[in-house]
Amino acid sequence: MRHLWAEQALTDRGWEKNVQVTIGDDGVIAAVESDCLAKGQRCGILLPSPTNLHSHAFQRALAGMTETRGQDPRDSFWTWRKLMYRFLDHLTPDDIEAITGFVQMEMLEAGYAAVCEFHYVHHQAGGIAYEDIGELSNRIVAATAETGIGLTLLPVLYEHGGCDGRALGPGQIRFGNTPGRFQKLFEAADKALGFLPGDSRLGVAPHSLRAVSQEGLTFATGLAPKAPLHMHIAEQTAEIEEIQAAWGKRPMEWLLENHEVDSRWCLIHSTHMEPHETEKLARSGAVAGLCPITESSLGDGIFDGVRYLSNGGKFGIGSDSNIRISLSEELRTLEYSQRLRDRGRAVLATAEKSTGRVLLDGAVQGGAQAGQRNAGVLKAGMIADLFALDASAVDLLGKEGDALLDSYIFAGDDRMITDVWSAGRHLVKEGRHIKHDALVARYKKTMQSLRDRV
Ligand code: NGQ
Ligand code: ZN
């Protein structure tokens, strides 16, 4: 048993002062009491920490390297994707492990307690399988064992290069599996997770309606009937047109009509939806996996957050391409995208909750559901996924309640974060991951060697 004590905390009962949290050796919260004398580890403002619900760890190494114009007349998501595919061909298992460890460290330092890794690079460059089909899953797990972040591993089924069934392009052959081979990969990933603490989870990720067949999608949904199911959908308008031309429906329309979309599902992006799709998705119980920084970076478009939230829709936040790891900036970008479109302010706030409160509550609850972690609320019986802000930071000093979240998200940033616990593991102290220096040193070495090779 360990004790934490916070000046203020956001618990299941609301904002409380002088809060003592007892965490069991199993990483689960045993008790939350207010008006207590300080005892054990002290912190300023204690909050439930979200799961980062969408990451492709390796893409971190590309950050800042795709901001020039190429030969294509118009730079776009599709030209970015070509560069990403080309870069990917150089990555070895060691590189992937080092990059994953580094970006997971950044996620923890940004306040995320866990991550859903949407893991789609499975084979060697050229598409030849590794001797152990789980080789790269093992590397993700090895990095996770090092950083301690909570992991929901999502092995990805990727069958073809477009919904007409065209063959995988040269950049995509490291991803490709038939359903039969994917099942073996899924089993290997399950075995790999045995090396991690008990809060890790396994899910299934059919990549997108572009990359899986209708039969492949049905296979993936049936593989582990209770596991989390994540899929990219409705990110780019070209994808909407392609699916509509081939299957006669818009992607979200088709999915909602042909599959039982419920609380197992996390639909990544869901950017381009008609109002009837937004309303139906909101009522389904699924989580919309929003990635505001990546969606801005790739020029995807703006999610209809106002309609979605007013219909009770659940959402969470993913760092996706990992061009920048910042929870506060993801949340701020989500709200600001709505303001810019609607020319309004405090657009996602409600009569009861400020904007910052709506954003954090949504991200912790949606993230927990998407990662299948019994977390997202500071109360007894939940996994201790927590983070703490510095109560003496200039923008937090003397503030109370939801104003703390508004100040953190809109005026502050991740430098306000002092501590992070993942399932009770105290991984960030004084703003730094406990293995910060070693993880940075390894990443620098990897990047240097990649520069020499690419
Ligand atoms: C991905 N990225 O899986 O990393 C994709 C690009 C694809 C985003 N959708 C690859 N943002 O769509 O095939
Ligand atoms: Zn993605």
**Atom number in ligand 1 closest to CA 207:** 3
Q: What is the mean pLDDT of residues 35-58?
A: 97
Whose tokens are 């699924």? That residue is: 286
Same domain, 334 and 415: no
The answer to whether position 325 is within a domain reads yes
Over residues 368-392, the pLDDT tens digits come to 999 999 999 999 999 999 999 999 9
- Taking only the tens place, the pLDDT of each residue in 428-437 is 999 999 999 9
Cα 331 from Cα 291, distance rounded (Å): 9
Say if ligand 1 is within 6 A of residue 95 CB: no
> Is 419 within 8 Å of 387 (Cβ atoms)?
yes
Regarding whether 285 and 404 lie in a shared domain, the answer is: no
Instruction: Read off the pTM.
Output: 0.98
Q: Mean pLDDT over residues 305-311, rounded?
A: 98
Res 71 pLDDT > 90: no
Q: What is the CATH number of the domain that holds 164?
A: 3.20.20.140
Q: What is the model's pLDDT at position 112?
A: 99
Residue 160 CA: which ligand is closest? 1
Q: How far is CA 451 from CA 58, 100, 315, in A?
A: 15, 18, 37
pLDDT greater than 90 at residue 53:
yes
Question: Is 449 contained in some domain?
Answer: no
> Is 130 in the same domain as 269?
yes
In a domain, 453, yes or no: no
Same domain, 70 and 39: no
pLDDT of residue 181: 97
3-state secondary structure of 155: strand
What's the gap between Cα 299 and its chain centre? Answer: 19
Stated as kind and residue range, the H or E segment containing 114 is: strand 114-119
- Do 110 and 68 belong together in one domain? yes
Report in angstroms the alpha-carbon separations of 276 from 242, 248, 289, 354: 20, 16, 18, 27
Residues 37 and 140 in one domain: no
235 ligand 1 Cβ < 6 A: yes
Coil, helix or strand at residue 213:
coil
| Residue-number span of the structural domain to which 309 is assigned | 51-371
- Nearest-CA residue for atom 5 of ligand 1: 81
Q: Quote the DSSP letter at residue 364.
A: H
Q: Which atom of ligand 1 is nearest to the CA of 118?
A: 3
Q: Does residue 56's CB lie within 6 angstroms of at least one atom of ligand 1?
A: yes
Ligand nearest to the CA of 171: 1
Q: Ligand 1, residues 212, 232, 235: which to mutate, most atoms within 8 A of Cβ?
A: 232
Per-residue pLDDT at 198: 97
Give the residue, by CA position, lying nearest to ligand 1 atom 10: 81
Nearest CA to ligand 1 atom 3: 207
Last residue of a domain, one of 353, 371, 389: 371
H or E element that contains 3: strand 2-11
CATH of the domain at 43: 2.30.40.10
In a domain, 450, yes or no: no
Residues 206, 290 within the same domain: yes
CB distance 82 to ligand 1 below 6 Å: no
| Residue 286 phi, psi dihedral angles, 5° rounding | -75, 165
Whole-Å CA distances, 173 to 128, 230, 306: 8, 21, 39
Partners of residue 23 on adjacent β-strands: 2, 29
**What does the block give as tokens for 439?**
């993880």
Which residue, 337, 371, 405, sits at the end of a domain?
A: 371
Choose the final residue of a domain: 371, 393, 415: 371
Residues 86 and 180 occupy one common structural domain? yes
Strand 229-233 with 386-389, pairing: unpaired
Find the mean pLDDT for residues 132-156: 98
pLDDT at residue 454 greater than cutoff 90? no
Rounded to the nearest whole angstrom, what is the distance from the C-alpha of residue 63 to the centroid of ligand 2? 15
65 with 41, same domain: the answer is no
Residue 390 resides in a domain = yes
Percent above pLDDT 90 for the chain: 98
Structural domains in the chain (count): 2
From CA 391, how far away is CA 19, in angstroms rounded?
14
Interval between CA 44 and ligand 2 midpoint (Å): 34
In the block, tokens 């990805």 appear at 156
Cα 440 to middle of ligand 2, angstroms: 24
CA 324 to chain centroid: 12
30 and 169 inside one domain: no
pLDDT at 130: 98
Q: Are residues 143 and 204 in the same domain?
A: yes
Residues bordering ligand 2, an ion, CB closer than 5 Å: 320
**DSSP secondary structure string, 83-99?**
HHHHHHTT--HHHHHHH
Which ligand has its closest atom nearest to the C-alpha of 299? 1
What is residue 73's predicted lDDT score, i.e. its pLDDT?
84
Query: What per-residue string of b and e applies to 306-339 under the rule 16 or more CB within 10 Å gives b?
Result: eebbeeebbbbbbbbbbbbbbbbbbbbbbbebbe
Q: How far apart are CA 6 and CA 444, in angstroms?
A: 36
Supply the pLDDT for residue 263. Answer: 98
Q: How many whole angstroms from 24 Cα to the centroid of ligand 2? A: 35
Q: 81 CB under 6 A from ligand 1?
A: yes
443 within domain boundaries: no
331 and 353 in a single domain? The answer is yes
Q: What is the pLDDT of residues 313-340, one digit of tens each?
A: 999 999 999 999 999 999 999 999 999 9
Q: 70 pLDDT exceeds 90?
A: no
